[in-house]
Amino acid sequence: MRYTLDYIKTYTEDFEPEIGIILGSGLGELADKYQEFAIPYKQIPKFPHLAGVEGHKGQLVFGNVAGRKVVMMQGRMHYYEGYSMEQVTYPIRVMKELGVKTLIITNASGIVNKSFRPGDLMVITDHINFMGTNPLIGRNNSKYGTRFPDMSEVYDKSLIKIVDAAGRLLNINLRHGVYMATSGPSYETPAEIKMARTMGADAVGMSTVPEAIVANHCGIKIIGLSCLTNYAAGVSSKKLNHEEVLRTANEVKDKFTALIMMILQNIK
């Protein structure tokens, strides 16, 4: 961690980000637009990156967005890409060390709750970790948090109120729901989606939960926002494909970006 921070601080100097944002599918432009400086992951000592992943845009982007000092992850590490859970969540601890107090985690997900529609935005109110592992497995580093962290309010209720208020101001009909994470990379079967619904999930995806667990462990407040890109398997008769996910995420990106900007203005 020390080498990582020493290197990053040669760029940031006295720039102390207070808010972190993990930019999911379709939201990369926010980072392009507000970038003051950026550091490619592969330049940062100890920072995870896999050599040779096609089209992998991975960098930490620093800037002032809506008057707030933020650090954005343009591109995230997914468990299904072969990163360890430690690698997937290493950037969260880096953000903690840089002074981040609030983390906005965004993603794209499939619809489990049949009353939701593709293109809707969902405020994550809670999650179900169905990845079959946990990023906190292993020796606990008590510098960050306790061995058995409480998880009864991972997604901060007072921040959800701020998100809802931002949604009302922008006339966006925000959904609320439980996000279930699987390891991926295969999409779910219809039987798995039926199980997810029975277990209380409203949306399903392949990210976010590891980062949320590690951020919660080290006392970072979390906002989770999901772009519902498609009906999950068996919810409609259509087959799933990544192009559809990207297409919907792209269609919604202006609305999603406006929401994030409004949230940034209103976070205390």
Choosing from 31, 94, 95, 204, the residue that interacts with ligand HPA (CB under 6 A) is: 204
Nearer CB in complex with ligand HPA: 39/196: 196
- Comparing C-alpha atoms, which of 216, 95, 201, 206 is closest to residue 149? 216
Of 72, 232, 252, 259, which one interacts with ligand HPA (CB under 6 A)? Answer: 232
Please state, as a whole number, how many other Cβ atoms lie within 10 Å of the Cβ of residue 259.
23
Which positions from 10 through 49 interact with ligand HPA, judged by CB under 6 A? none
Q: Is 202 in the site for ligand HPA (CB under 6 A)?
A: no
155 DSSP 8-state letter: B
Q: For residues 11 and 171, what is the distance between their CA atoms, to the nearest angstrom?
A: 38
CA distance 45 to 32: 23
| Stretch of 7-15, 52-60, 63-71, 105-113 lying at the interface with ligand HPA (CB under 6 A) | 105-113
The radius of gyration of the chain from alpha carbons, rounded to an integer in Å, stands at 17
Helix axes 2-12, 85-98, angle to 10 degrees: 50
Q: Among residues 17, 75, 110, 167, which is the contact residue for ligand HPA, using CB under 6 A?
A: 110
Pick 4 or 229: Cβ nearer ligand HPA:
229
Helix (H) or strand (E) holding 226: strand 221-231
CB of 72 to ligand HPA, least distance (A): 20
- Rounded to a whole number of angstroms, the distance between the first and last alpha carbons of the chain is 29
- What are the catalytic residues? 25, 56, 78, 80-81, 108, 206-207, 230, 242
Work out how close the CB of 267 gets to ligand HPA at its nearest, in angstroms, rounded to a whole number. 26
CB of 10 to ligand HPA, least distance (A): 36
User: Of 112 and 264, which CB lies nearer to ligand HPA in the complex structure?
Assistant: 112
Q: Which residue number, 102 or 109, has a Cβ lying nearer to ligand HPA?
A: 109
Residue 89 sits at φ, ψ, to 5 deg, of -105, 0
